[in-house]
Amino acid sequence: MSMVVDGLLIAVGALFLVVGLLDMISTTITPRDGGGFMTRSTLNALWGAWVWLARRLGVHISRGSAPILIMIFAQWLSCLVVGWTAWINALQPSPAFEDCLLSILSLTLGRGRPPLDLPAWMEAGIGLSGVVLVSLTISYIIAVVGAVAYTRHAAVHMLALGPTPDDVLRRAYLDDGTPRQEFVLQLISLTPIIAFLSTKTLAFPVIDVFQPAAPNRAICVRIGCVVKALALVHRDDVREPLPFAAVQTFLEAVDHLLAVYGHVYDESADGGERATMEIRLENLERWVKQSGWSWPDDVYRDQDFQDDSE
- Residues near 162 by beta carbon (within 8 Å), at least 6 away in sequence: 168, 169, 170, 171, 172, 225, 229
DSSP bridge partners of 173: 179
Section 294-304 average pLDDT: 80
CA 116 remoteness from chain centre: 40
The confidence band for 30, taking pLDDT boundaries of 50, 70 and 90, is: confident
8 Å CB contact between 83 and 101 = no
Nearest to 185 by CA among 247, 252, 241: 247
The confidence band for 241, taking pLDDT boundaries of 50, 70 and 90, is: confident
The confidence band for 272, taking pLDDT boundaries of 50, 70 and 90, is: low
For 109-142, how does the pLDDT look when each residue is reduced to its tens digit (9 = 90+)? 777 678 888 888 888 898 899 899 999 999 999 9
Supply the pLDDT for residue 255. Answer: 92
- Residues near 245 by beta carbon (within 8 Å), at least 6 away in sequence: none
Look at residue 34 and tell me whether its pLDDT is greater than 80: no
8 Å CB contact between 236 and 95 = no
For 179-223, how does the pLDDT look when each residue is reduced to its tens digit (9 = 90+)? 999 999 999 999 999 999 988 888 888 888 899 988 888 999 999
- Burial code (b: 16+ CB inside 10 Å, e: under 16) for 29-59 equals eebeebbbebbbebbeebbeebbeebeeeee
Look at residue 310 and tell me whether its pLDDT is greater than 70: no
**pTM for this one?**
0.81
- Residues near 92 by beta carbon (within 8 Å), at least 6 away in sequence: 116, 118
Section 172-179 average pLDDT: 87
Nearest to 287 by CA among 220, 225, 206, 209: 220
Nearest to 23 by CA among 93, 88, 78: 78
Nearest to 190 by CA among 253, 270, 139: 253
Section 82-103 average pLDDT: 83
